């Protein structure tokens, strides 16, 4: 059996979701984790909820060619240029997905208390049916999905060290996702989500 090509479609109505437990990323996942941990400039981002500045329960870093000015963010995020292992992974993931990505959000979940709440990556600049490629390294975490119009429809998968989750089709239109807090004593997890964002590429140089 060729483990690198073991691809598992996730059955989700009105969405296209594919899970690769061990895609060929050209480097061992342990080495990728160590390189990402050291190379990425991890930052504390905050959201502005009705004038209250709230730090996110994780560290993050934007990379690529697109400036993000999402309404909930408390500050404009100027992305870091592609470099090192991040640039390498972008090429590998583009080849595996046969898709182009110009933006990547990195998240560092320091322990089980770090999380990301229910949301969909449905910003207009991602388009109606974005392909989002999500790489996971380090501690395994549960990835929860629920249907936007029926929160009783839920699905949970485990994102393993070195895995790739591809979210496509109308996933972001019909489903939300989250990584919940856990009381389990677990270590660090790094997640990278590669996206293709329209619009603001030209403004990078202006900032
Ligand atoms: O950590 C994950 O697996 C998900 C991250 C996520 O949903 C996001 O950055 O939009
Ligand atoms: Fe997301």
Q: Which atom of ligand 1 is nearest to the CA of 109?
A: 1
Predicted confidence (pLDDT) per residue in 145-192, tens digit: 999 999 999 999 999 999 999 999 999 999 999 999 999 999 999 999
Q: What average pLDDT does the structure give for the chain?
A: 91
- Is 189 strand, coil or helix? strand
Strand order in the sheet with 141-147: 116-119, 175-179, 141-147, 150-159
121 Cα: distance to centroid of ligand 1 (angstroms): 9
199: confidence class by pLDDT, cuts 50, 70, 90? low
Cβ 122 under 6 angstroms from ligand 1:
no
* 66 CA → ligand 1 middle, Å: 18
Write the ipTM.
Answer: 0.99
Residue located nearest, by CA, to atom 8 of ligand 1: 193
Alpha-carbon span 119 to 175, nearest angstrom: 8
Q: How confident is the model at residue 206 (pLDDT cuts 50, 70, 90)?
A: very low
Residue with tokens 């182009």: 100
- Can you give the pLDDT at residue 207? 30
Higher-pLDDT residue of 113, 78: 113
pLDDT score for 97? 95
Q: Is the pLDDT of residue 204 over 50?
A: no
What atom of ligand 1 comes closest to residue 193's alpha carbon?
9
Q: Measured in angstroms, how far is the CA atom of residue 192 from the centroid of ligand 2? A: 10
> Residue 65: its pLDDT value, please?
87
pLDDT, tens digit, 9 for 90 and up, residues 13-72:
999 999 999 999 999 999 999 999 999 999 999 998 889 999 999 999 999 988 776 667
Q: Domain 3-203 falls in which CATH fold? A: Jelly Rolls (2.60.120)
**Rg of the Cα atoms in the chain:** 16
Q: What is the model's pLDDT at position 87?
A: 97
Ranges of each domain in the chain: 3-203
* Span 106-146, pLDDT tens digits: 999 999 999 999 999 998 989 999 999 999 999 999 999 99
42-70 in b/e form (b: 16+ CB < 10 A) is ebebeeeeeeeeeebebbbbbbbbbbbee
């Amino acid at each position: 059996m060729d483990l690198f090509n073991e691809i598992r479609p996730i059955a989700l109505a009105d969405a296209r979701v594919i899970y690769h437990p061990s895609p060929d990323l050209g480097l061992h996942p342990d080495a990728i984790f160590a390189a990402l941990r050291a190379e990425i400039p991890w930052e504390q981002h905050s959201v502005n909820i009705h004038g209250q500045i709230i730090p996110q329960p994780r560290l993050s870093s934007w990379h690529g060619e697109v400036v993000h000015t999402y309404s909930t963010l408390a500050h404009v995020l100027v992305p870091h240029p592609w470099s090192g292992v991040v640039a390498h992974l972008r090429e590998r993931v583009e080849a595996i997905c046969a898709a182009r990505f110009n933006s990547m959000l990195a998240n560092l979940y320091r322990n089980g208390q770090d999380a990301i709440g229910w949301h969909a990556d449905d910003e207009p600049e991602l388009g109606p049916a974005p392909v989002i490629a999500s790489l996971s390294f380090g501690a395994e975490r549960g990835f929860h999905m629920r249907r936007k119009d029926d929160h009783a429809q839920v699905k949970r998968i485990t994102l393993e060290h070195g895995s790739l989750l591809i979210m496509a089709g109308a996933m972001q239109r019909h489903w939300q996702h989250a990584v919940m807090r856990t009381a389990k004593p677990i270590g660090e997890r790094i997640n990278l989500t590669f996206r293709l964002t329209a619009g603001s590429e030209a403004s990078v140089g202006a900032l």
